[in-house]
């Protein structure tokens, strides 16, 4: 089996048989200088390894590109190399600390009434038609509006950010079935346009601060530290991308899983108190983030497999979330599953900063969908998935009610 298997329509449609085959071959599977770790125990075991860094991942991605694509993608690769997901301590610790106050459970809970209002408004808009694309009309705008309002971005600019986000996320998978030049060009151009927009917005907030996250990041001080201009730009870009992309597909994938498992859907309707457990199980069962990459700074051993410094390690979270050694009957959707030590939000110091916000958005979204539309059904037999192995998500999810 080759890593190229991860870039086929069959894989995008259902990656879990491939993950099972990889797990069955051992805790670590090698493809050239890429090592795929697919078992839960091994991924958890390396969580605290100080030799596994995020910092070199961007360089490894860029170095693998042909020169023309490398040059075209330069604005994007330079931007992501500065955000907190791509740096290691002490920089990661400092950057995360400077923005984490906006995502504490207490702070995020204050957003609950606004999220409930947004959900109601979005569903009001589609109710007369009796149908919708649950991605375009609901799962995308909900988290996009929330994070943009938090940052202070005007709602009329939402579609521009959707285009920029799509171009950048399409490039992040790191491998391409064809010529990478065009995806690289789109990612680079979208990054330039996004940064030009954000530079103007940040300048406005410097002159006239408002009650938003960009203003707070400009002003924040912690032990005398603050974000420099490049870090502020990279962090804002990260929050925009991560703040809606993964939650969009968490809602979309979760809703699809429920529609394809009518007994569990009926169970959740009868017992809405199961929602918190249900969200965790839906994250485990078909979460949006499929893998994260690391590059070891020294030779390491994972599950008895020696891996040399400088190679790329893919920690396949989605495979670990279906590991039968950790989850009994892992391919079964069980909304009451306990314990549920899934890796859907990552782990260790890179655990998702917005996890609590995503959980609230998902819980409110499902509660209102199931309450308002008791006859909600899938309206298409064939579905098209995003053609990237990094983020698992649907292009569209037609439903009727």
Taking only the tens place, the pLDDT of each residue in 233-282 is 888 888 888 778 899 999 999 999 999 999 999 999 999 999 999 999 99
Angle at 43 between CA 333 and CA 298, to 5 degrees: 160
Q: Is 259 in contact with 23 (CB distance < 8 Å)? A: no
Q: Render pLDDT for 29-73 as a digit per residue (tens, 0 to 9).
A: 999 888 999 999 999 998 778 888 665 555 556 666 788 888 998
Burial of 326 (0-12, 13-18, 19+ CB in 10 A): buried
Residue 312's φ and ψ, nearest 5 degrees, are -100, 130
Residues facing 225 on adjacent strands: 222
Cα torsion 326, 331, 333, 334 to 10°: value is: -40
The token pair that represents 230 in the structure block: 């490049």
Q: How far is the C-alpha of 301 from the C-alpha of 298, rounded, in Å?
A: 10
Instruction: Please tell me the predicted confidence (pLDDT) of residue 85.
Output: 58
- State yes or no: pLDDT of 323 exceeds 70: yes
Residues near 393 by beta carbon (within 8 Å), at least 6 away in sequence: 135, 245, 248, 249, 252, 253, 288, 385, 386
Instruction: Please tell me the predicted confidence (pLDDT) of residue 80.
Output: 74
Instruction: Please tell me the predicted confidence (pLDDT) of residue 239.
Output: 85
Residue 137 is classified by DSSP as I
Residue 52's φ and ψ, nearest 5 degrees, are -95, 110
Q: Render pLDDT for 339-365 as a digit per residue (tens, 0 to 9).
A: 999 999 987 666 788 899 999 999 999
User: Residue 225: helix, strand or coil by DSSP?
Assistant: strand
Q: How far is the C-alpha of 110 from the C-alpha of 169, rounded, in Å?
A: 30
Q: Is 316 in contact with 294 (CB distance < 8 Å)? A: no
**188: how many CB neighbours lie within 10 A of its CB?**
24
Instruction: Please tell me the predicted confidence (pLDDT) of residue 82.
Output: 67
Confidence of residue 2 (pLDDT cuts 50, 70, 90): low
Residues near 273 by beta carbon (within 8 Å), at least 6 away in sequence: none
Confidence of residue 217 (pLDDT cuts 50, 70, 90): confident
- State yes or no: pLDDT of 370 exceeds 90: yes
Q: Which fold has domain 3-400?
A: Cytochrome p450 (1.10.630)
Instruction: Please tell me the predicted confidence (pLDDT) of residue 58.
Output: 57
Instruction: Please tell me the predicted confidence (pLDDT) of residue 219.
Output: 81
Instruction: Please tell me the predicted confidence (pLDDT) of residue 222.
Output: 53
Angle at 214 between CA 150 and CA 217, to 5 degrees: 115
Q: How far is the C-alpha of 228 from the C-alpha of 142, rounded, in Å?
A: 30
Instruction: Please tell me the predicted confidence (pLDDT) of residue 255.
Output: 98
> How far from the centroid of its chain's Cα atoms is residue 312's Cα?
20
Instruction: Please tell me the predicted confidence (pLDDT) of residue 87.
Output: 57
Of 35 and 4, the structure prediction assigns the larger pLDDT to 35
Q: How far is the C-alpha of 94 from the C-alpha of 88, rounded, in Å?
A: 10
Give me the mean pLDDT over the 6-32 stretch.
91
The token pair that represents 102 in the structure block: 């906006």
Q: Map tokens 């009434």 to a residue.
A: 113
User: Residue 83: helix, strand or coil by DSSP?
Assistant: coil
Angle at 104 between CA 157 and CA 173, to 5 degrees: 55
Taking alpha carbons only, the member of 333, 350, 346, 347 closest to residue 279 is 333
Establish how many alpha carbons lie within 13 A of residue 6's alpha carbon, considering only the half-sphere containing its beta carbon. Answer: 23
Give me the mean pLDDT over the 212-224 stretch.
76
DSSP string over 93-145: HHHHHHHGGGGSHHHHHTTHHHHHHHHHHHHHHHGGGTEEETIIIIITHHHHH
Beta-sheet strand order (sheet of 28-31): 28-31, 34-37, 312-315, 292-296, 52-53
Instruction: Please tell me the predicted confidence (pLDDT) of residue 275.
Output: 97
Average confidence score pLDDT of the chain: 88
- State yes or no: pLDDT of 156 exceeds 70: yes
Q: How far is the C-alpha of 15 from the C-alpha of 31, rounded, in Å?
A: 17
Of 129 and 48, the structure prediction assigns the larger pLDDT to 129
Which ranges of 271-354 would DSSP assign to H, the alpha helix?
275-286, 317-320
Give me the residue spans of the domains in the chain.
3-400
Residues facing 263 on adjacent strands: none
The token pair that represents 346 in the structure block: 């990552």
**63-67, 136-140, 195-199, 285-289: least confident range:** 63-67
């Amino acid at each position: 089996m080759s890593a190229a298997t991860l870039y086929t329509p069959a894989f995008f449609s259902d990656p879990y048989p491939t993950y099972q085959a990889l797990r069955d071959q051992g805790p670590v599977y090698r493809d050239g200088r890429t090592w795929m770790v697919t078992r839960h125990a091994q991924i958890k075991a390396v969580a605290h390894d100080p030799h596994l860094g995020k910092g070199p991942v961007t360089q490894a991605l860029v170095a693998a590109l042909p020169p023309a694509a490398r040059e075209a993608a330069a604005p994007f690769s330079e931007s992501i190399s500065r955000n907190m997901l791509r740096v290691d301590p002490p920089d990661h610790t400092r950057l995360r600390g400077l923005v984490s106050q906006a995502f504490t459970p207490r702070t995020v809970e204050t957003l609950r009434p606004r999220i409930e209002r947004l959900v109601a408004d979005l569903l009001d808009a589609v109710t007369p038609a009796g149908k919708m694309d649950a991605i375009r009309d609901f799962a995308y705008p909900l988290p996009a509006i929330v994070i943009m309002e938090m940052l202070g971005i005007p709602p009329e600019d939402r579609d521009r950010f959707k285009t920029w986000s799509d171009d950048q996320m399409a490039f992040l998978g790191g491998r391409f079935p064809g010529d990478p030049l065009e995806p690289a060009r789109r990612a680079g151009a979208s990054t330039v346009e996004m940064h030009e927009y954000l530079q103007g917005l940040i300048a406005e907030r410097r002159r006239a601060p408002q009650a938003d996250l960009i203003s707070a990041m400009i002003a924040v001080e912690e032990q005398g530290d603050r974000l420099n201009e490049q870090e502020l730009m990279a962090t804002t870009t990260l929050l925009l991308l991560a703040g809606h992309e993964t939650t969009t597909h968490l809602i979309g994938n979760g809703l699809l899983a429920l529609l394809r498992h009518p007994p569990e859907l009926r169970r959740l309707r009868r017992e809405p108190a199961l929602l918190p457990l249900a969200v965790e199980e839906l994250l485990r069962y078909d979460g949006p983030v499929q893998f994260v990459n690391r590059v070891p700074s020294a030779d390491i051993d994972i599950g008895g497999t020696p891996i040399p410094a400088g190679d790329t390690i893919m920690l396949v979270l989605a495979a670990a979330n279906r590991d039968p050694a950790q989850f009994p009957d892992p391919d079964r959707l069980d909304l009451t599953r306990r314990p549920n030590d899934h890796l859907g939000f990552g782990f260790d110091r890179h655990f998702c900063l917005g996890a609590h916000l995503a959980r609230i958005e998902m819980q409110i979204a499902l509660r209102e969908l199931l309450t308002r539309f008791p006859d909600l059904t899938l309206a298409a037999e064939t579905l098209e998935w995003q053609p990237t192995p990094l983020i698992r998500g649907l292009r569209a999810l037609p439903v009727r009610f």
